[in-house]
């Protein structure tokens, strides 16, 4: 039996679904029941009758799946697949910040731990951050969008709301520089440049459009352009090419590879299903509070 057949057999035995984030290795994307962004995947999985969810992504994503499907067993094939951006805030720092800034509204990016979500007023994704900032807050509110300064600056540049910036960022997106975009534009003059809002403001300023990964997927399908320069983690290029074989995709920068995302391999998926490991455990009180911040967001979108 090859590794894919083993995974198929184990999936049936465990009644499992495999969720694969857009930034995963191509061979891992190929075994997915669902591919997509972290929230979309967790929502899809919560609608299934599966007993087990295998989350091929980073840890906060698997926690999000557990928050939305507490009755299911959620597994991550490598518990060391962390998210440096999510780790740029911890619960002690957040509590201290709230004490020093009474009345501040906490808008947490989905790229955050379950504990941080539980301590926030409302959640957002990169796809809906503009909408949430506009609909859930007023011009009088002081909002801190944690932990991503770049996403917060992007939102602040588009909507009339007051932000305090938390100094977190995604190292993979920070590696993409305006010079990279310039070089790629020279090489591929017909390509449209799509950048993720986790990129710096300088990169967004030299890009044509700003999208979440889900936004990029839908835009590329509809666009008449045949070539695209993609400013996000490079796993996204495989996803886009699979969905649009007649179009060409170029990375904004070859260096934009998240090592944590690439920790998940097919062998680890087999190991995970065989041993029912690593199980993602989120305490019940955290699930309930984190769910409240996610549900607060879902009311608006
Ligand atoms: O929420 C996600 O999955 C991430 C990390 C980004 C996006 O734009 O989809």
**Of the candidates 217, 208, 209, the residue with the CA atom closest to the CA atom of residue 244:** 217
Q: How confident is the model at residue 62 (pLDDT cuts 50, 70, 90)?
A: very high
Residue nearest to atom 1 of ligand 1 (CA): 38
Topology annotation, domain 86-169: Rossmann fold (3.40.50)
CA distance 274 to 113: 27
The pLDDT score that the predictor gives to residue 159 is: 98
Q: What is the average per-residue pLDDT within 234-260? A: 98
What is residue 4's three-state secondary structure?
Answer: helix
Q: Which residue has the tokens 């770049």?
A: 150
Q: What is the CA(60)–ligand 1 centre distance, in A?
A: 11
How confident is the model over 103-153, as pLDDT tens digits? 999 999 999 999 999 999 999 999 999 999 999 999 999 999 999 999 999
Q: Is 111 in the pocket of ligand 1 (CB under 6 A)?
A: yes
Decide if 75 contacts 273 (C-beta within 8 A). Answer: yes
Q: Is 212 in the pocket of ligand 1 (CB under 6 A)?
A: yes
Topology annotation, domain 176-255: Rossmann fold (3.40.50)
Testing ligand 1's pocket by substitution, the residue of 19, 21, 29, 37 carrying the most ligand atoms inside 8 A of its CB is: 37
Give the Cα-Cα-Cα angle 244, 248, 253 (nearest 5 degrees): 120
Decide if 137 contacts 164 (C-beta within 8 A). Answer: no
The pLDDT score that the predictor gives to residue 22 is: 97
- Average pLDDT of the chain to the nearest whole number: 98
CA distance 236 to 217: 9
Q: DSSP assignment of 49-94, as one string?
A: --SEEEEES-HHHHHHHHHH-TTSEEE-S-TT---TTGGG--HHHH
How confident is the model over 213-224, as pLDDT tens digits? 999 999 999 999
**Of the candidates 283, 294, 295, the residue with the CA atom closest to the CA atom of residue 109:** 294
Q: What is the average per-residue pLDDT within 189-196? A: 98
Q: Is 125 in the pocket of ligand 1 (CB under 6 A)?
A: yes
The pLDDT score that the predictor gives to residue 231 is: 99
**Residue ranges, CATH 3.40.50.10800, the chain:** 3-82+261-282, 86-169, 176-255
CA distance 26 to 30: 6
Q: Is 232 in the pocket of ligand 1 (CB under 6 A)?
A: no
H/E element, 209 = strand 209-210
Q: How confident is the model at residue 249 (pLDDT cuts 50, 70, 90)?
A: very high
pTM of the complete model beyond 0.95 = yes
Q: What is the CA(233)–ligand 1 centre distance, in A?
A: 10
Topology annotation, domain 3-82+261-282: Rossmann fold (3.40.50)
Decide if 19 contacts 45 (C-beta within 8 A). Answer: yes
DSSP symbol at 147? S
């Amino acid at each position: 039996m090859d590794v894919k057949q083993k995974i198929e057999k184990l999936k049936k035995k465990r009644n499992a679904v495999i969720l694969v984030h857009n930034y995963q290795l191509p061979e891992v994307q190929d075994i997915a029941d669902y591919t997509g962004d972290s929230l979309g995947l967790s929502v899809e999985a919560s609608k299934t009758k599966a007993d087990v969810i295998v989350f091929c992504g980073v840890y906060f994503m698997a926690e999000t799946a557990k928050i939305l499907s507490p009755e299911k067993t959620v597994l991550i094939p490598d518990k060391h697949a962390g998210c440096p951006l999510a780790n740029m805030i911890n619960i002690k720092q957040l509590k201290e910040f709230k004490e020093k800034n009474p009345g501040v509204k906490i808008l947490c990016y989905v790229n955050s731990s379950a504990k941080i979500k539980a301590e926030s007023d409302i959640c957002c994704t990169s796809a809906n951050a503009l909408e949430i900032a506009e609909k859930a807050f007023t011009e009088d509110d002081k909002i801190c969008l944690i932990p991503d300064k770049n996403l917060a600056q992007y939102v602040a540049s588009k909507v009339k709301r007051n932000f305090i910036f938390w100094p977190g960022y995604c190292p993979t997106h920070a590696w993409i520089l305006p010079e990279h975009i310039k070089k790629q534009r020279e090489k591929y003059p017909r390509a449209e440049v799509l950048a993720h809002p986790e990129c710096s403001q300088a990169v967004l300023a030299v890009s044509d459009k700003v999208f979440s990964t889900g936004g990029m997927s839908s835009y590329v399908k509809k666009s008449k352009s045949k070539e695209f320069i993609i400013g996000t983690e490079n796993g996204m290029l495989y996803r886009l090419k699979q969905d649009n074989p007649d179009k060409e995709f170029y990375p904004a920068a070859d260096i934009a590879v998240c090592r944590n995302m690439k920790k998940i391999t097919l062998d680890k998926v087999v190991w995970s299903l065989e041993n029912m490991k690593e199980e993602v455990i989120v305490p019940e009180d955290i699930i309930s509070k984190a769910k409240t911040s996610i549900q607060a967001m879902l009311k608006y979108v």
